[in-house]
Structure 1
Amino acid sequence: MSEESTLILSPSPGDMARAAGLLRRGEPVAFPTETVYGLGADARSGPAVARVYAAKGRPAFNPLIAHVPDVETARELVIWTPMADKLARAFWPGPLTLVLPLREGHGIASLVTAGLETLAVRVPAHPTAQALLRAFGGPLAAPSANPSGRISPTTAAHVLAGLDGDIAALIDDGACAVGLESTIVGLIDKTLRLLRPGGLAAEPIEAVIGRPLQQHATTDALVAPGQLLSHYAPRAAMRLNAEESRRGELLLGFGNVEGELNLSPGGDLAEAAANLFDHLHRLDQIGRPIAVARIPGHGLGAAINDRLKRAAAPRDT
C-alpha cells in the first residue's frame, strides 16, 4: 500500500461506517472476531481480495473464509443442506466454518476459493464483526490479520506488529475471547469431514450430528484455509512436548510445567487456547528458540496441538 501508518478505528457506529466505506473502495480492513483478528476485503471483488493476499504474502492456492452476518446470507452463496442447517442452528454465530459447494450466481471472486468449486463460510459471533458486516452489506473474505505463516493475531497490537502500513485500517476492540481460529467442517459430499480443528471442539459437533467426524488426511489436497503443513510459525525454531527448557530456549509452560510464560497454570484448555497466540507473540519477540510443554489431546487440546505442530514444522528460510 503506502508508507503511511494504518488508520486505527474504534467500534463506534461512525467508525464502522468509515471502515465499510474503505471496504467498498477495495481497501483491506482488519477487525476482531471471537476467534482471532481477521483481515477483511470484499469477497466479490478480485482486486480487493488480491490486496489481502499481497498484504499477507499469502500463497494464492490457500483459500479464504467468507464471513457473513447470518444463515440467510450464507444460503445465497452455497448449496445449503439439512445437515448444514442443523450445524448452523447449533453453533452459529460462533467459531465454526462450513465448507459447501458454491451456488450458481454466487458472485464470489475466484481468488477467495483458490479456484475450488466450494466455499468456506462462517457467521462470526463478535458484535464488532457483526456490526461491520451489516454496515458493509456484503460477504467479507477474511483470513487472519498477520503475515502469512506467522503467529495469528488476538489483539490489535499483534496486527500492527505484522501489518502496520500495509493495510488501510484496523478496528481495535480488545482481545479475542476464543483465541484460536474457527473449526472447519466440510460438507462437500455425503460425508462430514473435520478439515481443521479450532475454537469449537469436535466432541460437541459429533454430539449434534450423532456420529464421529471423518479426519482430513495431511496428504489430501488443500480444500480449506489453515491446512498448510508449516503455518502459525514464530521466527525461531520450536520444540514440542518439552518437560523443561534446554540451553538457550524459552519454555512455554502448561499446567505444572512452568516456563517464562504458562498457557494455563491450572491446566484449563480453554484458557490455554485463548492465550496461545498471545504468548507465542511475546516469546517470539525475544528471538530465542521456543520449547512448549505437552498439551493434552482431548477437546480444545486437539486444535492447540494442531497449531503447535504446524508452527514447529520444517519451513523454508
Structure 2
Amino acid sequence: MTYNTNTKILKNNNRDIGFAAQSLKDGKTVVFPTETVYGLGAHALDTNAVEKIFKAKGRPADNPLIIHVPCINWLRKLAVNIPKCADKLGHNFWPGPLTLILLANKETVPSTVRGGLETVAIRIPSHSIARRILEEADIPIAAPSANRSGRPSPTSFHHAYKDLNGRVDCIVDGGRTDMGLESTVLDLTSPKPVILRPGLITQKQIKSVVDAEGHKEYVGGKVLSPGTKYKHYSPRAPMTLFVGEYSNVVKVLQNKVKQEKNIGKKIGVLAFEEYTHHFRNVDKLISMGSLNSTLDIAAGLYKNLHDMDYSDVDVILAMGLGGKDDLSYAVMNRLLKACGHNIVQV
C-alpha cells in the first residue's frame, strides 16, 4: 500500500474539528485523543475505510475493533438482542472508559470491524475532542489505539505522530490523554457479564450496577476482545518483569543489572519512586510513580514505555506492581503483555 506522506496535523479548534469529522465521513483515517489513549479512527460502516486502519497499524484481521458512538441510541442500530443491563451500564458509565460486547447487527456492522465474530464492541468516549468529532460526524467510528500493532499505546500527540505519521490522513493534536489506560471491556453475550479486558472501570464499580464475573484471560480460540490474544504494548527492547515482595525484587534486579552491565548491555530500569535510588547506575532510569497512587502509575505507564524506546536501551528491567485492587490488576495486565509474559518471580 502507498501511504499518505502528507499527514495533515489538526488543532483543537472548531475549523479543524469540523475538518476531521468530514474526513471521517469521506472514508479517511483520523487519529484523535480519547480519555484513555489516542485512537486511529475510520467510518465503522465503511469497509474500505476500516481496512485502512488494519493496514496503517499492521493489525491482524481477526483482531476486532471498538466502535465509538456519539450516544447510547446507536446501540439499537449496531447490535441485536440487547440485554437490559446494557442500558443500565451505559447510563452509569457512559461517556467513559467502558466497552460493551454485544451481539452484532450483521446487516449493519461489517465483518471487517468485528474481526469475523458474531459480536460488536461499542463505547462512548468522554474526551471533549472525541465527543465533538463524533457528534459533528454523526457516524460510528471504529478506533483502536493509534500505534503500530504490538507497540505501546499512545497517550500523547507525539507518540501517535511518531508511530503513524505518513500512514494516516490526519492527526488531531490534543496533547496528553487524561487516563492513559485502555477501556474496560465487558462481554454481555454470556449468561453472566464477564470482563474480557481490565481497565479503569473496575469490577467493583461494575458490580455496583450489575453482577459480573472478574477478568478472564485469553487462552486460545477466537479473539473475543481487543487486547486479549496478541502481544501488546511492547517496547522495542526485550523487557523482563520482576514480581514479588518489593525488597526482594530490588535485590534480584540489582544483581541482574550487574550481569547485564558485565556483558556490555545498555540497561533501562522501570522502578517505583520509592525504590529508584537503588538504580542510579543504569543507562536509563524511569520512575513509574509512587506506590501511593496507582492511578498515576496507570496514567503514566505507556509514556514510560515510550520513553524507554526513545532512550535506545538494549534491555528493560521492570518492577511488577503488587496489590489486590482492580486498578493494580489492570496495570499488571498491561505490563505482562508488554514483556510478553517474560517474568521472574522472586
How high is the TM-score relative to the length of structure 2?
Answer: 0.86
Partner of 1:295: 321
In the TM superposition, what is the alpha-carbon distance from 1:75 to its structure 2 partner?
Answer: 2.6
CA–CA separation in structure 2 for the residues paired with 1:284 and 1:211: 37
CA distance in 1, matches of 2:186, 2:221: 15
For 1:195 and 1:62, the matched residues in 2 are separated by 14
User: What is the CA-CA distance between 1:234 and the residue it aligns to?
Assistant: 0.6
Matched, 1:310 2:331: no
Q: Does 1:272 align with 2:274?
A: no
CA contact (8 A) 1:36 1:144 kept: yes
Give matches, 1:223-234, under 5 Å: 223-234=224-235
Secondary structure at 1:83 match in 2: helix
- Relative to total residues, which structure has the larger helix share, 1 or 2? 2
Identity of aligned residues (%): 37
Report the more deviating stretch, 214-223 or 262-271: 214-223
CA contact (8 A) 1:191 1:214 kept: no
What TM-score, normalized by structure 1, do the two folds share?
A: 0.94
SS in 1 for 2:326: coil
RMSD: 1.8
1:208 is paired with a residue whose SS is coil
- Paired residue secondary structure (1:278): helix
* Counterparts in 2 of 1:220 and 1:201: CA distance versus 1, 3 Å: farther
Checking the alignment, whether the CA contact within 8 Å between 2:193 and 2:212 is kept in structure 1 is no
Which entry has the higher C-alpha Rg, 1 or 2?
2
8 Å contact from structure 1 (residues 250, 291) kept in 2: yes
From 257, 263, 269, the counterpart of 2:275 = 257
| Inter-partner Cα distance in structure 2 for 1:56 and 1:251 | 28
SS in 2 for 1:256: helix
**37-46 or 256-265, larger mean C-alpha shift:** 256-265
1:158-215 CA-partner distances (Å, limit 9, x unpaired) = 0011111110001111111110010100011312111111222222112322454362
The 5-angstrom pairing of residues 67-106 of structure 1 reads 67-79=68-80, 80-103=82-105, 105=107
Change (3 A) 1:236 1:254: same
Question: What amino acid sits opposite 1:203 in the alignment?
Answer: K
Q: Contact 2:218 / 2:228 at 8 angstroms: preserved in 1? A: no
Compute the displacement of 1:3 (Å). 5.3
Could you tell me how far apart the structure 2 residues matched to 1:212 and 1:189 are? 10
Cα deviation, residue 74, structure 1: 2.1
Residue 98 (structure 1) shift: 0.3
Query: Alpha-carbon deviation of 1:303?
Result: 1.2
Paired residue type of 2:333: D
Q: Is the aligned partner of 1:284 residue 2:309?
A: yes
Alignment of 1:28-67 (within 5 A): 28-67=29-68
Number of aligned positions between the proteins: 314
- Aligned to 1:173, the other structure's residue is in SS state coil
Distance 1:3 1:74 in 2: 33
Tell me how far apart the structure 2 counterparts of residues 213 and 313 of structure 1 sit (CA, whole Å). Answer: 22
Report the 3-state secondary structure (helix = DSSP H, G, I; strand = E; otherwise coil) of the residue aligned with 2:208. Answer: helix
Q: Which amino acid aligns with 2:293?
A: D
Shift, 1:88, TM fit: 1.1
- Give yes or no for contact 2:94–2:125 (8 Å, CA) kept in 1: yes
Per-residue deviation, 1:287: 2.0
Q: Tell me, which stretches of 5 or more residues in structure 1 are unaligned?
A: none
The Cα offsets for residues 81-136 of structure 1, whole Å up to 9 and x where unpaired, read as 1111121121111000000001364x222110011111000000011101001111
